[in-house]
Amino acid sequence: MLSVLRGIPASPGIVVGPVHLLRWEVPEVRHRLVDDSSIEQEIERFHAAVERARERLRLLRARTEAQAGPEEAAIFDVQLSILDDGELTNSTIALIRQNLGAEKAFDIVLLEWRQHFARSSAPMLREKVGDLTDVHIRVLSILLDLPDHDPVDVPRGSNTILVTHDLTPSLTMQLDRECIAAIATEAGTATAHVAILARSLGLPAVVGLRNALTALHGGEIVILDGAEGTMVISPSDHEVDEARQRVAEEEGRADVIRELALSEPVTRDGVRVVIRANVDIPEESDYGASSGAEGVGLMRTEFLVVGRASMPDEEEQYRAYTRVVKAFAGQTVIIRTYDVGGDKLPVGGFPHEANPFLGWRAIRMCLDESELFKVQLRALLRAAVHGDLRIMLPLVVTVDEVRETRQLISECIDELAARRVPFRDDVPLGVMIETPAAAVACDTLVRDVDFFSIGSNDLVQYMLAVDRGNANLAPRFTPFHPAVLRLMAQVQATGAAHGIDVCVCGEMASQPLAVFALLGLGLRQLSVAPRAVADVKRIIRGVRAEVAADAAQAAMACSTAREAEVLLRRRLRAELQL
**DSSP state at residue 206:** E
Identify the H or E element spanning 431: strand 429-433
Check the CA dihedral 414-419-420-426 and report its sign.
negative
User: Which residues are marked as active site?
Assistant: 193, 505
Asked whether 185 and 167 are in contact (CB, 8 A), the reply is yes
Binding region: 300, 336, 434, 457-458, 468
Binding region for phosphoenolpyruvate: 300, 336, 457-458, 468
In the sheet that holds 14-22, the strands lie side by side as 4-6, 230-233, 221-225, 14-22, 160-164, 180-185, 205-207, 8-11
Asked whether 275 and 536 are in contact (CB, 8 A), the reply is yes
Distances (CA, A) of 81 to 45, 63, 86, 123, 131: 20, 18, 10, 18, 10
Query: In this structure, how many other beta carbons lie within 10 angstroms of the beta carbon of residue 252?
Result: 9
Check the CA dihedral 286-288-291-295 and report its sign.
negative
Asked whether 236 and 221 are in contact (CB, 8 A), the reply is no
Identify the H or E element spanning 298: strand 296-299
DSSP letter string, 410-436? HHHHHHHHHHT----S---EEEEE-SH
Q: Considering only CA atoms, which of 136, 134, 184, 193 is closest in space to residue 164? A: 184
The count of residues in the chain is 578
Question: CB-based contacts of 440: which residues, under 8 Å, 6+ apart?
Answer: 487, 490
Q: Which amino acid is at 21?
A: L
Binding region for Mg(2+): 434, 458
- Greatest distance between any 2 Cα atoms in the chain: 87
